[in-house]
Structure 1
């Protein structure tokens, strides 16, 4: 089994590329989706989050806006939250691997792969990228985003250029979508042929 880390900064099109891997029959573990499930109604980490950040949960699980307000811009609070979330995501990831142990390739979709050292736990890394102008336009088109919020998010992420230099593969998403899909297929073919990188 080849493990492939899929990463990219906010607004780069990582979710689109992840869906393309799924379309090609490659199992994808979505770390963000795992977090949503863990923090959703009845989620296993909801009680610990409520204890650490009182008033940030309710019947629907974690109130993401309230939790975001409690940790945004506070490194110590973010570290407390990560200490709750990361082990639970690790357990979900282990279960995913066990469920797909016969797959020739599996993908771990992790937004902060390099920032958390996750790149050391995979065989190869794909970075999804687009121009800074396209990235900014995509992010600012999302509800609740602002230039200030984007700047704060980017400050926590490695610059795109550095991610690209550390990647085994770079897939562009500021090109026609068929080119992006062809790039995904080329990565899969390269890995299956044993010529990855």
Structure 2
């Protein structure tokens, strides 16, 4: 089994790379999906979030109101750390279960937005960073997700810097070109991963 940690800043295009790798045969473990699962109604995770942040982070149906919670944690580093301390351990347990079910010969891609921020780089055989300049990230967040420029800049500032992610990378996927360019880059990466080629650096 080859364990890949895939990350990238918000708006860099990490989800597109994840989809392309899945289409080529990778087993994808998506931390964002798991983070939603562990705070579904009735879970200990949701109970812990409400205990820390209050019932105002729930919607009328008793589900997590993500925009309301996001407004709290992105403006407060301490609150964000508290949320991560609730969510991340549960996500890691679930991710380990999915990985164990993948089989010995699988390429397992862990899609982890906060891989660098949470110090997980050393846990993977290969760290892949999807990269784009900050101005490109901002433009995508404004035009594709409807954020204001201030909101986009705030979201980016709350994550690791571009330099920090690049420092942690074994492989960098440049996502500033066309979709064809991205496909070619992913094809090259998949060829290496599926053949068992060692693409890791000495960290």
Q: TM-score, normalised by structure 2?
A: 0.88
Change (3 A) 1:147 1:2: same
**2:38 match: secondary structure:** helix
What stretches of structure 1 move > 4 A for 4+ residues in a row?
Answer: none
Distance 2:196 2:124 in 1: 18
Gaps of 5+ in 2: none
Distance 2:190 2:146 in 1: 35
User: 1:124–1:168: 8 Å Cα contact kept in structure 2?
Assistant: yes
Are 1:57 and 2:67 an aligned pair?
A: no
User: 1:43–1:61: 8 Å Cα contact kept in structure 2?
Assistant: no
Which of 111, 129, 132 is the matching residue for 2:131?
129
CA displacement 1:63-89 (0-9 Å, x = unmatched): 112212332322222222111101110
How many residues of Structure 1 are paired with residues of Structure 2 in the alignment?
A: 197
**1:62 match: secondary structure:** coil
Gaps of 5+ in 1: none
Are 1:194 and 2:197 an aligned pair?
A: yes
User: 2:7–2:112: 8 Å Cα contact kept in structure 1?
Assistant: yes
User: 2:142–2:149: 8 Å Cα contact kept in structure 1?
Assistant: yes
Mapping for residues 58-77 of structure 1, pairs under 5 Å: 58=59, 59-77=61-79
**1:39 match: secondary structure:** coil
**1:138 match: secondary structure:** helix
Distance 1:60 1:145 in 2: 26
User: 1:27–1:103: 8 Å Cα contact kept in structure 2?
Assistant: no
69-78 or 168-177, which deviates more: 69-78
Distance 1:135 1:186 in 2: 24
Change (3 A) 1:190 1:145: same
Are 1:10 and 2:13 an aligned pair?
A: no
* Aligned match of 2:169: 167
RMSD: 1.8
44-53 or 9-18, which deviates more: 44-53
Following TM superposition, by how much is the alpha carbon of 1:194 offset from its aligned partner in structure 2, in angstroms? 2.0
